[in-house]
Structure 1
Amino acid sequence: MKAVVSSEWLKVRSVRSTYLILSLSLGAILLGLALAVMAAGMYDSAPPEKRPSARISELEEVLVIVPQLCMGILGTLAMTSEYATGLVRTSLTIVPRRWPVLAAKAAVVGTLGAIVGAATVFGTYLVSRSVLGDRFSGAYATSLLDKLPLLTATSLTVPAFALLGLGLGALLRSTAGAITILAGLVYVVPMIIGNIPEPWSERLGSMMIGALPRQITGDGNASSVYGSLLSPAAAAAVLVAYAALPLLAATWQLRRRDA
């Protein structure tokens, strides 16, 4: 298994698209810095009587969609590129049991997703906090230790997306199809759910990946478009399911379907 993981790591780091995707993911930190500077300027130029009511969304929670989507694409390409080039036949010939190939890809992609997720979420939080200070009624005045559970839960959605992309790529064998689903989960589905009548809007919204971090930490999503009906344990289970279920289905299909 170690040799298979090493082989998959070599495949991932030998293509330029990996470095482009990683750069775009980490670009969320610079985007967060730019937005924080802009927000600070708007706050400082606002009339004093309006400043107490000024609010800002946590930028790390908003911008996490950048590494989510990027790492989801990386996970997709890790599988679909082999089908496009025919390399998958060689891989499955060398590893006839098949499932270790997908498991090794999951280990590599998941690890990269965890590193990128932590770097972008914590990096965005730190630069935003350094710029905004106690503006916006102290939105960034909370200590890092108090924010640690939420930041950690938010960062874990990135490897979940990476593994989701890998699973979708293995199931669909189509880069365009898998990326369309990933983009839909980030942008389209939340808007659709937001327009569904209650109580289904909140029920379905609670299941969206963007709603899970605050439910995992018990903070709730009172000021967001998402619902907040799940217990911390249930929200954690849903997050795991986003990553695990497509991979399990892909493993079952890989063992029964020709390359």
Structure 2
Amino acid sequence: MSVLTSEYLKMRSVRSTYLTVGLALSTILLGLALAVTVAGTYDAASPGRQAIARIAYLEEVFVIVPQLAMGVLGVLAMTSEYTTGLIRTSFAIVPRRWPLLAAKAATVTVLSLVIGAVAVFGTYAAVRSAIGDRFAGAYASAFGDRLPLLIALTLTVPVFALLGLGLGALLRSPAAAIAVVAGLVYVLPIIIGNLPEPWSETLGSLMIGALPRQLIGDSNASSVYGSLLSPLGAAAVMIGYAAVPLIAATVLVRRRDV
């Protein structure tokens, strides 16, 4: 418990925590700003254009902001100690080492889950209030109909945080670990989306961005992602993104001198 308390205090005491949390929550304002803009464009369009106008679900589009922000938070939670040399003191206090990593993982998970929920649900609420019944009622469906996907989107945020933490422990370089996290969000899906079939569909189904809809048994037909996984398969892959780097980091951290 003392290790967990220590990690909580560390996270509270650094400026990067507040910056990444602020960035994650900015998705609410971004979603609202875009929703207000497109709503105005819709209102100014002719009835014919309004009849065929469609809008993407913006909470799905903007979830990459809290994903990346909390991924960076996870990276910095580990690499900042290597950068400052504090890691030597931490390992001296916790010589078995794995409890330190476990405490960091618990702290990062709780914070990113809360921030992810606020960002995803807040963006949905803000966009829904601005869009109303425009765009063929895209946001007019009952909240309960969207709830499973909103929960699934929320769960991807702590997955990114734990992925970042594991990569930070493995690479010990904030730049390298953040580059890998950013590549999973922005770069890899673009590359896979341009591959020939069946590789595009197969590998696209394994991307983190493809998992929320597969987790609830829905399709990614309108995106660059694939839809080959069952809900259980999607859950297993999601857990793997978080667990595999952490397990590898735990083994490696126990074997390194520092």
**Matched ranges for 1:13-162 at <5 A:** 13-162=12-161
Partner-residue secondary structure (3-state), 1:179: helix
Q: Which residue in 2 is equivalent to 1:198? A: 197
Structure 1, gaps ≥5 residues long: none
Q: Deviations over 1:46-104 (max 9, x none)?
A: 11011121111100000000000000001000000000111111111111110000000
Q: Which letter does structure 2 place at the counterpart of 1:108? A: T
Runs of 4+ in structure 1 over 6 Å off: none
Alignment partners' CA distance in 1, 2:135 and 2:238: 31
Match of 2:2 in 1: 3
Structure 2 Cα separation of the partners of residues 212 and 20 of structure 1:
27
Structure 2 match to 1:225? 224
> In the TM superposition, what whole-angstrom CA distance separates every residue of 1:201-247 from its partner, at most 9, and x where no partner exists?
00000000000000000111011110000000000111111111000
Whole-angstrom distance in 1 between the partners of 2:15 and 2:116: 20
Structure 1: distance between partners of 2:241 and 2:18: 25
CA distance in 1 between counterparts of 2:207 and 2:31 reads 23
Structure-2 residue corresponding to 1:208: 207
Residue 45 of structure 1 deviates from its aligned partner by: 0.9
Aligned letter for 2:140? A
Q: CA RMSD in A?
A: 0.6
TM-score by length of 1: 0.99
> How many residue pairs were aligned?
258
Alignment gaps of 5+ in structure 2: none
Same amino acid, percent of matched pairs: 69
C-alpha distance in 1, partners of 2:207/2:41?
32
Deviations, residues 124-143 of structure 1 (Å, cap 9, x unaligned): 00010011011111110111
Between the aligned partners of 1:7 and 1:103, the Cα distance in structure 2 is: 12
Give 1:145 deviation, angstroms.
1.2
**Displacement, 1:146?**
1.4
Q: How does 1:156-171 map to 2 (within 5 A)?
A: 156-171=155-170
- Within-5 A mapping of 1:225-244: 225-244=224-243
